[in-house]
Amino acid sequence: MLPYVVQPGDTLLRIARRFGVNAASLQAANPQFIASSQLLPGLLLFIPPHEAVMYCVQPEDSLLRLTSIFSIPLMDLLKANPFLDPKKLVPGQMLSIPGGRYHRIIDPRAEYGFRELDEDITVLEHEYPFLQRIQIGSSVMGKPIHALRLGEGPRKVHVNAAMHANEWITAPLLMTFIEDAAKAASIGSQLGGIAIRELLQQVTVWLVPMVNPDGVELVQEGLRPDHPHYTELFQWNRQSLRFTKWKANARGVDLNDQFPAFWEEEVARRAVTGPGQRDYPGEAPLTEPEARALAEFTAEQQFDLVIALHTQGQEIYWNYRGYEPPEAERIAAQLGQASGYKPVKLRGSDAGYKDWFIHEFRRPGYTVEVGLGINPLRIDSFPDLYDEIRPLLLAAMEAVIRK
């Protein structure tokens, strides 16, 4: 077995993803260390060898189908089966399926934080040069807040994700959509039955995949002793090093209660007097750099429609105090039909990004509560979540043309 020294930020799933091994096998090989969800840097682990599985070829199989099912590159499959005739698969034939590599750029099989986001954007930029990245601001801890642009159309759609820290799964969902849309535009294929290249000639999409990178890091990795705000965060988190319930940024402020839309009423309703895991609106609107960057970017771009991805509930919130435009409810119904989510006319909520956008610009804005369960949603639910979100985002792009 291969020895490996745990690095800062490592988790069980991240290490398994990096080495292309089964997480259960990794845990079995290191039972003395993996019992805790937080791995201490410097621990010595042992990485089990890759294990191939055997597969019996079925009548409907093709090489393309097998590489897709098992998430492996074609060359890896051919190398593992040197006597295979790639032009002729024989039903009943036994194939060796190698473990390890993943066939996509975005790999959602483990925690997805700022490090993965930054690396993946770099790869996407290289693969799809028409994809534009800009920095719209920085987090409390100085991490860049990235925005990605697809398309050249006159109508503008914006989608943001991971504003609440323990809802970080929305970031790889949005990044997977970016990868799929960019690939379809590059080769001139369809996505969800829609010709993406033609659609992006009519629509420009600006996406901010991770609004709250500092909070995401806390949720995924816990609080380390070298964190600059260790003492405050430890107290704000009820003297726990585990941050799985944390929604706020690194200053304990809930970013989705930071926008100037009846902010004072939200403060009174929340009745949270200081920083903590969730629901503290801050000392004033837009005091936090993450919220301020998103608001300034929105004002600069003048979007026609915005979506904020959150979890969970399988609901779409589309209204705000009667300031929403007449077409808002109709578009919400279209998004609901595409995703299977329920459009909900929400009351008793202020100071959110969607609220502020509707109030400020009188244009359609939506909060989409992705999936069902307890935050953070389970990683193994990702394929089902993406099947719900991809058609919703495509429907939003089409709707803004007909608006």
**Catalytic (active-site) positions:** 369
Measured CA to CA, the distance from residue 249 to residue 232 in angstroms comes to 12
- At residue 384, φ and ψ (nearest 5 deg) are -70, -40
Neighbours of 2 (CB within 10 A): 10
Q: Vertex 360, ends 358 and 364: CA angle to 5°?
A: 25
Rounded (10°) angle between helices 328-339 and 382-402? 150
In three-state secondary structure terms, 220 is: helix
Measured CA to CA, the distance from residue 278 to residue 193 in angstroms comes to 40
Neighbours of 289 (CB within 10 A): 19
- At residue 155, φ and ψ (nearest 5 deg) are -85, 140
Q: Vertex 214, ends 211 and 220: CA angle to 5°?
A: 105
Let me know: does 236 contact 276? Beta carbons within 8 Å. Answer: yes
Q: How far is CA 155 from the centre of its chain?
A: 24
Strands (E) across 241-394 are located at: 305-311, 315-317, 342-344, 365-370
Let me know: does 16 contact 6? Beta carbons within 8 Å. Answer: no
Measured CA to CA, the distance from residue 384 to residue 162 in angstroms comes to 18
Please give the single-letter amino acid code of residue 357.
Answer: F
Let me know: does 362 contact 319? Beta carbons within 8 Å. Answer: no
Q: How far is CA 58 from the centre of its chain?
A: 35
In three-state secondary structure terms, 62 is: coil
- Residue 81, CB half-sphere, CA atoms under 13 Å: how many? 23
Edge-to-edge, what's the strand order for the sheet holding 305-311?
132-138, 144-150, 203-208, 155-160, 305-311, 365-370, 315-317, 342-344
